Amino acid sequence: MSNYYHPIEFSSNVVALAGRTKEKVSELAARYRVENSFEDWRKLVADPKVEVVDDCAPPFLHHDPSVAAAELGKHIVCEKPLARNAAEAKSMLDTAEKHHVKHMTAFNYRFVPAIAFAKKIIEDGRLGKIHYFRGSYLNTNDGFNRPTFPLTWHFQKETAGHGALGDLGSHAADLARFLVGEVDAVSGASTTFVGERSLKKGSIEKDKVDVDDLSVACLRFRNGALGSLEAGWTTSGVTDYLAFEVYGSEGSVKFNLERMTELQLSLPDDRNPDASGFRTVYVLGRDHEYMIPFWVNQAGGFSWEHTFVNELHHFARCIREDEDVEPRGATFYDGWRNCLILDAVVKSSETGKWISLPS
């Protein structure tokens, strides 16, 4: 982390890694000079030198390690979606709160300078009353659009919980809550285009895909706004289309991750009656939150990997200074509310009804 940051505020050390394969995990540990490596995550969680656990495993391995870490009083950051379903996520939240550990769901896009700037514009009231949020995450994950792409943990409920909806849509749903507010009700439709996939690349043995390839939903926000949400990984041609548009009574803002240092703005204070429409602003430079510490600040671009540096820096600072992870970071509470939205999309798709979320 310190390599990226200037000036160096503080440093943290990775003291242990866990992975399934002895050779791979020990090779990685040697490469990064990490003291310990384990094939069983339980040993990592129990290692007395480990103070913070970063769970980067697939969703079926989020609940148990997080709960075990919290029970041992260790702080925990867990990848998104927080769990396979809202019930698992709630159990993780309850355990983390019971043991008073810091907890964060790794919604890294909250730490994109352009998204932080969009949030500031909204919070400052410059868009007026928010009426409509459009959020999409379409990405072919390097081949999921091809029926020949083999089965991975992503394609089954048992390992992933949800398909494109969990893998991609969870980010757009988090930005909906982050930028606009709490979601009260959901109506959705999900579908699967590739019903079975080869167990391995080229093999004739196949297994069933039982999660969505594409999901589309309508959202009702508590503050009266409406929203739409799209998640798809069979949408050929897109690279990393995490995009949102927020329309207010006075102004609007648009973002697309494929151009992550730009925002499109239509604000009442700079609108020219002769040239209506949106203008593009570059969210670069030291005036912007989450750009300040980077050496890329002056002329270079801010890129995807920097979001993780910002995210983990935020979490480390919250631990060191005993500050709150939210509202800038997403806690397990946000991860749980996020899972409620994902579950509701699927339930609505199955029942054909709007699903109200608990308050």
Ligand X SMILES: NC(=O)c1ccc[n+]([C@@H]2O[C@H](COP(=O)([O-])OP(=O)(O)OC[C@H]3O[C@@H](n4cnc5c(N)ncnc54)[C@H](O)[C@@H]3O)[C@@H](O)[C@H]2O)c1
Pick one of 37, 66, 95, 108: the residue that binds ligand X (CB under 6 A). 108
Which SS3 state, helix, strand or coil, does residue 203 take?
A: coil
Check residue 206 for interaction with ligand X (CB under 6 A). Answer: no
CA atoms within 13 A on the CB side of 219: 32
Check residue 54 for interaction with ligand X (CB under 6 A). Answer: no
CB of 18 or CB of 231, closer to ligand X: 18
Q: How buried is 274 (Cβ within 10 angstroms: 0-12 exposed, 13-18 middle, 19+ buried)?
A: exposed
Cα(211)–Cα(192) distance, integer angstroms: 7
Pick one of 8, 30, 56, 87: the residue that binds ligand X (CB under 6 A). 56
CB of 233 to ligand X, least distance (A): 12
- Phi and psi at 207, nearest 5°, equal -135, 165
Check residue 61 for interaction with ligand X (CB under 6 A). Answer: yes
Question: Which tokens belong to 85?
Answer: 């379903």
DSSP 54: E
Pick one of 106, 219, 253, 312: the residue that binds ligand X (CB under 6 A). 106
CB of 169 or CB of 248, closer to ligand X: 169
CB of 275 to ligand X, least distance (A): 37
End-to-end CA distance of the chain: 38
Site residues (CB under 6 A) for ligand X, limited to 297-326: none
CB of 20 or CB of 98, closer to ligand X: 20
Region binding ligand X by CB under 6 A among candidate stretches 53-61, 85-93, 94-102, 273-281: 53-61
- Best CA proximity match to 132, nearest among 237, 265, 258, 227: 227
Cα(186)–Cα(166) distance, integer angstroms: 15
Check residue 6 for interaction with ligand X (CB under 6 A). Answer: no
Question: Which tokens belong to 177?
Answer: 């809550």
Pick one of 63, 80, 197, 288: the residue that binds ligand X (CB under 6 A). 80
Nearest residue to ligand X, by Cβ distance, number only:
79
Check residue 41 for interaction with ligand X (CB under 6 A). Answer: yes
Check residue 338 for interaction with ligand X (CB under 6 A). Answer: no
CA distances from 54 to 61, 78, 269 (A): 12, 6, 43
Give me the count of residues in the chain: 359
CB of 44 to ligand X, least distance (A): 9
Check residue 58 for interaction with ligand X (CB under 6 A). Answer: yes
Check residue 59 for interaction with ligand X (CB under 6 A). Answer: yes
CB of 28 or CB of 292, closer to ligand X: 28
CB of 41 or CB of 149, closer to ligand X: 41
CB of 21 to ligand X, least distance (A): 7
- Phi and psi at 285, nearest 5°, equal 100, 160
CA atoms within 13 A on the CB side of 226: 4
CB of 25 or CB of 217, closer to ligand X: 25
Spatial contact of 78 and 55, defined as CB atoms under 8 Å apart:
yes
* Strand-strand pairing, 355-356 and 183-191: antiparallel
**Footprint on this chain of ligand X (rule: CB under 6 A):** 18-20, 41, 56-59, 61, 79-80, 106, 108, 167
